[in-house]
Amino acid sequence: MTNDAITTQPTYYEEVLRKGYSRRDFVRFVSMMTAFIGLEQSAIGQVTKAMETKQRMPVIWLHFQECTCCSESFIRSSHPIVADILLDKISLDYTETLMAASGTQAEEALKNTMTKYKGKYLLCVEGSVPMGADGVYCMIGGKTSLQILEEASEGAAAIIAWGSCASNGCVQSAKPNPTGATPIHKIIKNKPIIKVPGCPPIGEVMAGVIVHYLTFGRIPELDKLGRPKAFYSKRVHDTCYRRPFYDAGLFVETFDDENAKKGYCLYKVGCKGPSTYNACGVMKWNNGTSYPIQSGHPCIGCSEENFWDNGRLYERGSSFAGFGIESSADTLGKVALGVTGAALLGHAVATNIGKSTFIQEHQEEGKESEKELK
């Protein structure tokens, strides 16, 4: 899947200049071409302009059952900043959040892009689609979101499913999913779909996905669940700076206790980092300012499917649905390790070479926690 036609091709004017011709040559060429394709002389200016100007990637951004946190996160991107994305990189032809036009004029803008750039535009979807009651739980311009999605996806080159709503249904699909909130990939089957889960996804991740598409001319490599590998291949737990505390058995027992002030591991107060694939631990949020765990709150697992129904927020991870092979290895490790302090030390050193002094200092405390964890 590439989008060469739109982003990687230089304009005709650039091409002409590169080959050593002058602007006068270029205009002469345009005049000839205009006559050749049967246009009036008055169209020369228009053709010249069109050939001089490089097209930006047309983007349609639909909003369905959502809270707009994805759009908000997108505008938080620090690199590239959103003003540059909007002015230089893409042509955001439809988005209810930011576009100037409303009503008929908004619908026209949508239609224009769908017709003019058929097969070439990028379709972004924020929000889930309610399938209950024939779709009347989300209507725009008198149409259901399902009708709008089906029409807009037909001519899309690719689809980005922004956030957990579009990727897996998010909060409105939590039990009992009363509106039949449905993610995009369960409705549209014949287009490449990039899932960018998270509630919301990190702003720089969203910008990163778009920039990847524009820079390399193809969609990013996806994992088996359809998420870009670049951002969703590592567990928050594995990239967490508090991981050594976990390995050492040092935990926050309750919020605001002494261990919380020391920044120990939040696993026992419900951290879902061990079962959550996201880039929070590496990229952090808001241009690297912090991320939930750094600010003392457990990861709630917002980029995982059905995270609203995977146990309570402050419940220890044992009841995670899909607490997989990798993470149970940790758990098994813990159970075995709890037996003796020596074993604890052994495991800790094995997983954290070079941290042995640190571990030793906290060993006694860790042993106590270890027993409780068991």
Partner 1 sequence: MSKRIVVDPITRIEGHLRIEADIENGKIKDAYSSGTMVRLLEEILQGRDPKDAWAFVGRVCGVCTSIHSLTSVRCVEDALDIVVPPNAELVRNIMFCAQYMHDHVVHFYHLHAMDWVDVVNALKADPKKTSELAQSISHWPKSSPGYFSDLQKRIGKFVESGQLGIFANGYWGHPAYKLPAEVNLIGLAHYLEALEWQKEIVKVHAIFGGKNPHPNYLVGGMACAIGIDDVSGLNAERLAYVGQLLKDGKEFIEQVYIPDLMAIASFYKDWGAIGGGLGNYMVYGDLPTNGYRDTANYKFPGGAILNKDITKLYDVDLKKDDEIQEFISHSWYEYKDGDNKGLHPWKGESKVKYSGPKPPFEHLETDHKYSYLKTPRWKGNAMEVGPLARVLVGYARGREDFKAVVDKALKDLNVPIAALFSTLGRTAARGLESVLTAQWGLEFYDQLLANIKNGDTRMAEMSKFDPATWPKSAFGVGHTEAPRGALAHWINIQDQKIANYQLVVPTTWNASPRDGKGQLSAYEASLIDTPVADEKQPLEILRTIHSFDPCMACSVHLYDEEGKTISRISVLGD
Binding residue (CB under 8 A) for partner 1 from 5, 15, 28, 49: 49
Cβ proximity to partner 1, 20 vs 119, nearer residue: 119
CA distance 21 to 11: 14
Q: How far is the CB of 188 from partner 1 (least distance, A)?
A: 19
Told to check if 64 binds partner 1 by CB under 8 A, we report yes
CB of 190 to partner 1, least distance (A): 23
Cβ-proximal residues to 197 (8 Å cutoff; 6+ apart), any chain: 163, 164, 167, 168, 227, 232, 278, 302, 303, 304, 305
- Residue 68 contacts partner 1 per CB under 8 A: yes
Q: Is 275 in the site for partner 1 (CB under 8 A)?
A: no
Q: CB of 351: closest distance to partner 1 in angstroms?
A: 20
Residues 136 and 65: their CA atoms lie apart, in Å, by: 12
**With respect to partner 1, which residue has the nearer C-beta, 251 or 337?**
251
Q: Which of 297, 316, 355, 367 is the binder for partner 1 (CB under 8 A)?
A: 297
Beta-strand ranges (E) seen in 302-349 are: none
Rounded distance, CA 331 to CA 343, Å?
A: 14
For the CB of residue 13, give the shortest distance to partner 1 in the complex, in Å.
12
CA dist 347 and 244 (Å) reads 11
d(CA 222, CA 194): 7
Q: Least separation, in Å, of the C-beta of 340 and partner 1?
A: 29
The residue (of 22 and 53) whose beta carbon lies closer to partner 1 is: 53
With b for 16 or more beta-carbon neighbours within 10 A and e for fewer, the 283-318 pattern comes to bbbeeeeebbbbeebbbbbbbbbbbbebbeeeebbe
Q: Which residue has the tokens 């779709």?
A: 135
Pairing outcome for strands 181-182 and 129-130: antiparallel
Q: Taking CB under 8 A as the rule, does residue 179 contact partner 1?
A: yes
Q: Contacting partner 1 (CB under 8 A), which of 35, 101, 335, 342? A: 101
- In sign, the C-alpha dihedral spanning 123, 125, 128, 130 is negative
Q: What's the closest the beta carbon of residue 358 comes to partner 1, in angstroms?
A: 13
Site string for partner 1, 133-162 (x = CB under 8 A): xxxxxxxxxxxxx-x---------------
**The pair of three-digit structure tokens given for residue 245, joined into one six-digit string:** 């505390």
Task: Candidates 16-24, 52-60, 318-326, 359-367: pick the segment binding partner 1 (CB under 8 A).
Answer: 52-60
Question: Which letter does DSSP use for residue 54 in this model?
Answer: P
Residue 55 beta carbon to partner 1: minimum distance, rounded to whole angstroms: 6
31 binds partner 1 (CB under 8 A): no
Q: How far is the CB of 1 from partner 1 (least distance, A)?
A: 22
Q: Which of residues 109-138 bind partner 1 (CB under 8 A)?
A: 109, 112, 130, 132-138
| Contact map string, positions 230 to 269, toward partner 1, x by CB under 8 A | ------------x-----------xxxx--xxxx------
Q: Draw the binding track, 303-322, toward partner 1 (x: CB under 8 A; -: no contact).
A: -----x---xxx--------
Q: What CA–CA distances, in Å, run from 285 to 71, 74, 204, 281, 294?
A: 15, 12, 8, 9, 10
SS3 210: helix
Written as one letter, the residue type at 92 is L
- Chain centre to alpha carbon of residue 284: 13
- In the complex, the smallest distance separating the C-beta of residue 8 from partner 1, rounded to whole angstroms, is 17
Q: Which region among 70-78, 152-160, 335-343, 366-374 touches partner 1 (by CB under 8 A)? A: 70-78
Contact positions with partner 1 (CB under 8 A) in 188-207: 199-200, 203
Whichever of 96 and 341 has its CB closer to partner 1, that residue is 96
Torsion of CA 97, 181, 205, 115, to 10 degrees: -60
